[in-house]
Amino acid sequence: MRVVKEANVRKSEILDAAELLFETKGFDGTSTTDILNEAGIARGTLYYHFKSKEDILDAIIERMTGSLVAKATEIAGKKDEPVLRRLTQMMLALHVDNSLGYEIMEQVHKPQNALMHQKMQERLLAGINPIITALIGEGIAQGICQTDYPTEVAEMTLLYSSTIFDNLAIHSVEERERKTAAFIYNLERLLGMERDSL
């Protein structure tokens, strides 16, 4: 007898199967047939939920972005931690640190996936920017920092850190250290803080 599952459960199972395959075989090395076999579903079921393998990748990115926003929200909500520590922890938590994350970022960075990259960046900005802005607001209220543009500073911080500290970017140890020092220095300037506050 055929097992009928709710659409959101089936969709989640397809994404789980695709994530596993993308992580082990890579996006290009995974076929839709591989996903069908791993999920144990018929071709029609797959295409009921997703139009293509790229559509599946887009849904995985959406899910990954949602997870990053949830993690950032949790860190920002730890009010017993100093505001600057929460800001630092949150920025560190936004970087991918597993093979699936690297595979997805590799796909997103391909020229033919420029739209996907833009969508991912927009989703992250929409979800994370308000959280960073709120933390900057806390810092202003506590007299730790000063800026008339907390939202814009938050946006610049997120965009710069996601570009410079991208794990796919090739930097020597010295370059990475210099970029990190420059990031901290410029963030302190943007936030009107004393040097070496961060």
Q: pLDDT (tens digit, 9 = 90+) per residue, 111-142?
A: 766 666 777 788 888 999 999 999 999 999 99
Mean pLDDT of all residues in 43-72: 89
Residue 101 has pLDDT above 70, yes or no: no
Asked if 185 contacts 164 with a C-beta cutoff of 8 angstroms, the reply is no
Let me know the angle formed at the C-alpha of 150 by 115 and 76, rounded to the nearest 5 degrees.
Answer: 80
The lowest-confidence range among 21-30, 160-169, 189-198 is 160-169
Residue 166 pLDDT class (50, 70, 90 cuts): low
10-28 residue pLDDT tens: 899 999 999 888 878 888 8
**Ramachandran assignment for 41, one of left (phi > 0), alpha (psi -120 to 50 degrees), beta (any other):** beta
Residue 2 has pLDDT above 70, yes or no: no
CA separation (Å) from 193 to 88, 138, 142, 188, 197? 15, 14, 12, 5, 7
Name the range with the highest mean pLDDT among 87-96, 147-156, 168-177. 147-156
Mean pLDDT of all residues in 26-41: 90
Nearest to 25 by CA among 85, 137, 91, 103: 103
Residue 99 pLDDT class (50, 70, 90 cuts): low
| Averaged pLDDT of the chain | 84
Asked if 59 contacts 15 with a C-beta cutoff of 8 angstroms, the reply is yes
* DSSP state, residue 79: T
Prediction pTM value: 0.74
Cα gap 42→13, rounded to integer Å: 13
Cα gap 131→83, rounded to integer Å: 12
- At 65 the pLDDT is 85
Residue 81 pLDDT class (50, 70, 90 cuts): very high
Q: How many CA atoms lie within 13 A of 150 on its CB side?
A: 14
What does the H/E/C string look like for 95-137?
CCCCHHHHHHHHHHCCHHHHHHHHHHHHHHHHHHHHHHHHHHH
Residue 1 pLDDT class (50, 70, 90 cuts): very low
Determine which helix (DSSP H) or strand (DSSP E) holds 1, and give its type and residue range: none
